[in-house]
Structure 1
Amino acid sequence: METSDLVTGAEWHPGDPLWRRVPTADPGGKYLADFMLLIPGLKRWAPQRLEQLHRELHTLFRQHAEQVVFADLNMKLNLLWISHRQGKGVSLTLFEAIRERVPEAVLVANQAEVELGLQRRRRRWSLRRLLGHHGG
């Protein structure tokens, strides 16, 4: 098993790249948010532990069925991808719930975090310019 959809909604074709399978909007046309978790050593986990992880993730995503639209577990790359409806604290809630089950999971920067980082960088650059600092 190299990759598996944990939440079905779109037709799944093993081997298709994630960008072809991940929905970008819900059926109502609202854009989805997403994040990715790195799970170090996932592909080397014992089959029993992998099966337990699958069961726990399925249960978690069913509990959050109103938010979670798509999830993909990529065994080859040790990655878990989650796409969900936007809402205050949804990413954090899901991330914390997954970390309870998989403590070694590491959040990979999502788009919102990247945007926030870029905004902070622009602000610092603008402030330096305003103050006349031209350091490198």
Structure 2
Amino acid sequence: MSNSLNHKQQHNLKQTLELKPNSPLWKRVPTKDEYGNYLGDFMIMIPRLKAASSDHQKQTLDKLNAVLHRYQEVVVFADLNLKMNLLWISVRPVKGVILDIVSAIIESVPEAKLISDRPPR
């Protein structure tokens, strides 16, 4: 697999980072990449972002955008639901990448929290 994204992939990433009203998430989230590989996904909560000033919201979005662009080789989809303060990210199946992205987001936006489920006992 090539280390660089083709023009279409770069364009698709840019489109998913725009702010615009969309259809329900379950209709838009990809489950497989262009090669048929299943994608991983995770959610991050950013408490009180909706209630924050527009300047703070923009600064937070700029920080998130910078992190996602650092990982543009593996980030396939990103959606920020400001109403729910939730960021959904879908990634290519690369070992350890979710932890790397989550760590980078929390470093840039300290109030961000990974939403996870308890592992089965």
- Equivalent residue of 1:57, what SS? helix
User: Which residue, out of 92, 96, 120, partners 1:85?
Assistant: 92
- Partner residue, 2:106: 99
- CA distance, structure 1, for counterparts of residue 98 and residue 111 of structure 2: 17
Unaligned runs of 5+ in 1: 1-5, 122-136
- CA distance, structure 1, for counterparts of residue 22 and residue 71 of structure 2: 27
- Equivalent residue of 1:107, what SS? strand
In the TM superposition, residue 7 of structure 1 has moved relative to its aligned partner by 4.7
Structure (1/2) with the larger helix percentage: 1
In the TM superposition, residue 8 of structure 1 has moved relative to its aligned partner by 2.6
- CA distance, structure 2, for counterparts of residue 15 and residue 27 of structure 1: 22
After TM superposition, the score normalised by the length of structure 1 is 0.71
After TM superposition, the score normalised by the length of structure 2 is 0.80
Larger Rg: 1
How do 1:11-90 residues align onto structure 2 when only pairs under 5 Å count? 14-90=21-97
Q: Give the share of equivalent positions with the same residue, in percent.
A: 48
The answer to whether the Cα contact below 8 Å between 1:7 and 1:61 also exists between their aligned partners in 2 is no
Give the number of equivalent residue pairs: 107
Unaligned runs of 5+ in 2: 1-12
In the TM superposition, residue 13 of structure 1 has moved relative to its aligned partner by 7.0
